[in-house]
Amino acid sequence: MLHLDPTPWHDVLRHTCACFPNEACGILLGPPPLGPNLHITEAVLAPNVHQGDQTKRYEIGTQLLFDTQRGARARGLHVLAYFHSHPNRSAYFSPTDLAHAHAHSTHLVLSLQNGAFQHAKAFRVDETQAREISLSYPEKMQAPEISAKVAATALAVPHSRIREIADIAMAMDGVLRLYFGESNLPTPAFIKDAAQKALADGFTYYTENAGLPSLRQAIAAKYAELHGVTIDPSREIVVTASGVQALQLGIRCALDPGDEAIVLTPAWQNQISIPAMCNAAVRLAPLTLSEGRYHIDFDLLDSLLTPRTRLLIYTSPSNPTGWVATPADQQALLVFARRHRLWLLADEVYERLYYPDSAPLGTPAPSILRLATREDSVFVVQSFSKAYCMTGWRVGWIVARADFADRATKLNEFIISSAPAFAQRAAETALRDGEPAVREMLALYKSNRDFSLEALRRRPDIQVPQPDGAGYLFPQVAGLQDSFEYCRRLLLETKLGLAPGIAFGPGGESAIRLCYAVERPILAQALSILTT
Q: Looking at the structure, do residues 405 and 389 belong to the same domain, yes or no?
A: yes
pLDDT computed for residue 394 by the predictor: 97
Whether omega before 33 lies within 30 degrees of 0, making that bond cis, reads yes
Residue spans of beta strands (DSSP E) within 126-254: 130-133, 141-142, 176-177, 237-240
Q: Of the candidates 379, 407, 433, which is a domain's last residue?
A: 433
pLDDT per residue as tens, the chain (532 positions):
233 333 333 343 333 333 333 333 333 333 333 333 333 333 233 333 333 333 222 222 333 333 444 444 443 333 334 443 333 333 333 444 444 444 555 555 555 444 444 455 555 556 556 566 555 444 444 445 557 888 888 888 888 899 999 999 999 999 999 999 888 899 999 999 999 999 999 999 999 999 999 999 999 999 999 999 999 999 999 999 999 999 999 999 999 999 999 999 999 999 999 999 999 999 999 999 888 889 999 999 999 999 999 999 999 999 999 999 999 999 999 999 999 999 999 999 999 999 988 889 999 999 999 999 999 999 999 999 999 999 999 999 999 999 999 999 999 999 999 999 999 999 999 999 999 999 999 999 999 999 999 999 999 999 999 999 999 999 999 999 999 999 999 999 999 999 999 999 877 889 999 999 999 999 999 999 999 8
Say what the pTM is.
0.74
Q: String of b and e for 367-383 (b: at least 16 CB within 10 Å)?
A: bbbebbebebbbbbbbb
Q: Based on the fold, state whether residues 429 and 456 are members of the same structural domain.
A: no
Do 259 and 124 share a domain, yes or no?
Answer: no
**What residues have CB less than 8 Å from 145, skipping those under 6 apart?**
115
In a domain, 483, yes or no: yes
Pick from 131, 154, 177: which residue ends a domain? 154
CA distance 99 to 66: 9
Q: Is residue 510 part of a domain?
A: yes
- Reference 48, options 485, 504, 506, 507; nearest CA is 506
Name the nearest CA neighbour of 306 among 272, 282, 288, 287.
282
Assigned domain for 79 exists? yes
- Cα(362)–Cα(438) distance, integer angstroms: 7
pLDDT given at position 124: 59
Q: Note the pLDDT of residue 188.
A: 97
CB 504 within 8 A of CB 161: no
How remote is the C-alpha of 495 from its chain's centroid? Answer: 23
Which CATH number belongs to the domain containing residue 16 in this structure?
Answer: 3.40.140
Sign for the CA dihedral angle at 489, 491, 492, 494 comes to: positive
Cα atoms in the Cβ-side hemisphere of radius 13 Å centred on 428:
18
Contact, 497 vs 175, CB < 8 A?
A: yes
Q: Which amino acid appears at position 172 of this protein? A: M
How far apart are the C-alpha atoms of 65 and 46, rounded to whole Å? Answer: 10
Does 80 fall in a domain? yes
Largest CA distance in the chain: 80
Say if residue 372 is in the same domain as residue 504.
no
Question: Are 389 and 325 members of one domain?
Answer: yes
Tell me, yes or no, whether 453 and 418 share the same domain: no
- Cα–Cα distance between 497 and 175 in angstroms, integer? 7
User: Per the structure, how many domains does the chain have?
Assistant: 3
pLDDT at 132: 64
CA distance 219 to 364: 14
By the 8 A CB rule, do 512 and 484 touch?
no
Statement to judge: residues 143 and 241 lie in one domain: no
Alpha helix (H) residue ranges in 278-420:
298-304, 327-339, 402-412
Burial of 315 (0-12, 13-18, 19+ CB in 10 A): buried
How many angstroms separate the CA atoms of 30 and 40, rounded?
6
**The pLDDT of residue 147:** 73
Q: What is the pLDDT of residue 441?
A: 96
Task: Note down the domain range covering 447.
Answer: 161-185+436-531
Quick one: 244 and 295 in the same domain?
Answer: yes
DSSP E strand stretches across 104-206: 105-113, 116-125, 130-133, 141-142, 176-177
> Residue 266: is the preceding peptide bond cis (ω within 30°)?
yes
Residues 228, 314, single domain; the answer is: yes
Q: Is residue 194 part of a domain?
A: no
Beta strands 39-40; 3-4: pairing state: parallel
User: 197 in a domain, yes or no?
Assistant: no
Domain annotation covers residue 192: no
The answer to whether the beta carbons of residues 252 and 492 sit under 8 Å apart is: no
Alpha-carbon distance values, 196 to 188, 193, 423 (Å): 13, 5, 9
- Domain co-membership, 356 together with 308: yes
Q: Are residues 255 and 355 in the same domain?
A: yes
CATH number at residue 419: 3.40.640.10
Boundary (domain end) residue, out of 433, 461, 478? 433
**Pair (428, 443) in one structural domain:** no
**Predicted local distance difference test score (pLDDT) of residue 322:** 95
Rounded to whole angstroms, the Cα distance separating 122 from 34 reads: 12
- Kindly state whether residue 427 falls inside one of the protein's structural domains: yes
